Structure 1
Amino acid sequence: MIDTGEGITVGMMRSARTAGAVLTMALVVAGAAACEGGKDAGQKTGATAAAASTPPQPFGTGGYRGLQLSMTKDEALASGALEPSPVSLFNGCTDYAYKGGPAPDPVRMAAETEARAKSDKALARIDEMRANRKPFETLAPGASLEQMVKHSERLQERLKQEAAERQESDALFKEADVIVTARKNRDQAFLATGRVNFGTEGLRQLVAPADARTAEGVGAGSAEDELKRAYEGKALKPTEDGKYELPAEGGNGGPDWFYEFTMAEGKVAGLALVKHNTYCS
């Protein structure tokens, strides 16, 4: 080792030059990597922003999640927009979940089948009683006192019979109402995710997920005033069961399709497209 006379050896100077070169190269490499990383990050950010700026498809007659209102059940299942297994066989119709939706619930589906059977049995008994009911004979003019007494006795028996039938009918109607409870349970199960309903003539109901909105921005959570303003002058009208109904114009479903807005506490609780004049079975 040679001393330069300034307290620094030649070896020390060479080591310093080598370290400096290594540091410079490291900074160049790090800078290049940072540029590439910034470029990739910029591309990813741009792609994310573009995706975020694409509005979701409106819920309407132009189609939803790959489904068209004119589709048959087979066509809808072939489209890949639905899960393959039914999630409800309620009342003779078949319901499917959208792709990624809930799996079939065998307990609820069994309860639906039981409710349908119980309701059908009760209604059949009511129809039987009505069919067997015969008109009560009238008392002929000029009837004798004895005939009047017998007619009065028969009348009393008839009144007792009708009272018993009314009591039985009331109980039967309550039994038939289990189908209403089953329907509410089915609707509640798909309130957030939506469902698609098919009858004998194909697609008959599209129930929207909770985050879906019409082209006018109406969906679950919209206030009643917002709903009315959005469709002012467009034949929006209340229904007997507390909902709102609006003719669904356009699309390829035909004139029988209507928007249906289920209301709760002054807000839209559910949104659906429903085809009138169609049947489950």
Structure 2
Amino acid sequence: MRNTRVAGAVLTMALVVAGAAACEGDKGGAAAAATPPQPFGAGGYRGVQLSMTKDEALASGALEAAPVSVLNGCTDYAYKGGPAPDPVRMATEAQVHEKASKAMARIDEIRANRKPVPPLTPGASVKELQEYNNRLQEQIKQDAADQQEIAALQKDLDLVTPTRKARDEALRATGRINFGTKGLRQLVAPADARTAEGVGAGSTEEELKRAYEGKELKPAENGKFELPAESGSGGPDWFYEFTMAEGKVAGLALVKHNTYCS
């Protein structure tokens, strides 16, 4: 009987200890679940820091290994767990980039080769006046031909805008990291990301302005707003960029000014 009581007491104690451990585990799980997500900001996002080189960012394990966009000569990568590359869209991007590059090179060549007719000197003879008029007429004809060619070439340049829009829409929900000729140039936030002030996709323009009142928030091109990134961003050229649509934030990014794709 005594042995039975001892065994019962030991079993009871074991159950109490197990219950306490389970409670502690539940508390730990609740604490982990309550941990707020990392804010999108100058301190970086999901393991990518603004001061990183392309090789450092890829080696960090924060990004998928294969690029998801090659538009404009830049290379974009998805955050870990992001979408796989879309070969059809990327093939279109490569074609558009090639056409746009050739068109821009030809336009630059046309403009560089234009040689204005020197002005007629005072006291010119009748023969010199006639030669001047002939050269002027030739230039007018050449200018007209050049403008016609530039207009045709502009159509290839115009392909970039809808192609960029398609890329942005395809990767808007998951975000992307953009590298140019001098390294990291843009972090595009996923749709659910928020700054430390709680601003992100879906925030109203009023909420945006209230969150950054007195912090140099200003209108930018294409209806966007931009804000200098706080210290620790790896340089003075980093800015928050808020894309707006119908009075709300539609996209959030960190962009480095004065950097280029190609």
TM-score (norm 2): 0.84
In structure 2, which of residues 76, 79, 86 is the aligned counterpart of residue 105 of structure 1?
A: 86
1:21 aligned residue: none
Q: 1:159 to 1:221 in 2, by over 3 A?
A: same
CA contact (8 A) 1:86 1:95 kept: yes
With over 3 angstroms needed to count, the CA separation of the structure-2 counterparts of 1:248 and 1:142, relative to structure 1, is same
Deviation at 1:41, TM superposition (A): 7.8
Amino acid at match of 1:207: V
In the alignment, is the contact (CA less than 8 A) between 1:139 and 1:151 conserved in 2?
Answer: yes
Q: How far did residue 139 of structure 1 move?
A: 3.3
- Which one of the candidate residues 244, 250, 264 is aligned to 2:245? 264
2-side partners of 1:78 and 1:190: how far apart? 22
Q: Which amino acid aligns with 2:68?
A: V
Q: Which amino acid aligns with 2:89?
A: R
Question: What is the aligned residue count?
Answer: 251
Change (3 A) 1:236 1:155: same
Distance 2:171 2:149 in 1: 35
**Distance apart, 1:171 and its partner CA:** 1.9
Cα pair distance change 1:168/1:252, threshold 3 Å? closer
What letter corresponds to residue 74 of structure 1 in structure 2? D
Distance 2:159 2:120 in 1: 43
1:234-257 CA-partner distances (Å, limit 9, x unpaired):
011111232111111122422221
Classify the secondary structure of the residue corresponding to 2:223. coil
The answer as to 2:169 corresponding to 1:173 is no
Q: Please, which moves more after superposition, 107-116 or 70-79?
A: 70-79
The 5 Å alignment of 1:195-274 reads 195-274=176-255
- Note the alpha carbon deviations across 1:10-61, whole angstroms, 9 max, x for none: xxxxxxxxxxxxxxxxxxxxxxxx9999879866754553233211111011
- 2-side partners of 1:278 and 1:152: how far apart? 46
Give the C-alpha shift of residue 78 in structure 1.
Answer: 2.0
The structure having more radius of gyration, on CA atoms, is 1
CA offset digits 1:177-196 (Å, max 9, x no partner): 21222222211111110001
Counterpart of 2:53 in structure 1: which amino acid? T
Q: For structure 2, list consecutive stretches of 5 or more residues without a partner in the other structure.
A: 1-14
Q: Which amino acid aligns with 1:271?
A: L
Q: Aligned partners of 2:92, 2:210: CA distance in 1, in Å?
A: 40
The 8 Å contact of residues 191 and 251 in structure 2, kept in 1 or not, is answered as: yes
Calculate the aligned-residue CA RMSD, in Å: 2.8
Is 1:192 paired with 2:173? yes
* Identical columns (%): 71
Query: How far, CA to CA, are the matches of 1:55 and 1:107 in structure 2?
Result: 37
Greater alpha carbon shift after TM alignment, 143-152 vs 77-86: 143-152
Q: TM-score normalized by structure 1?
A: 0.79
Question: 3-state SS of the aligned residue for 2:231?
Answer: coil
1:113 deviation in Å? 1.0
Q: Tell me the alpha carbon deviations over residues 122-168 of structure 1, each in whole angstroms, 9 at most, x when there is no partner.
A: 11111121122111133343445565455445433432322222122
**Partner residue in 2 for 1:128:** 109
Question: Quick check: 1:63–1:251 contact (8 Å CA) kept in 2?
Answer: no
Paired AA for residue 105 in structure 1: D
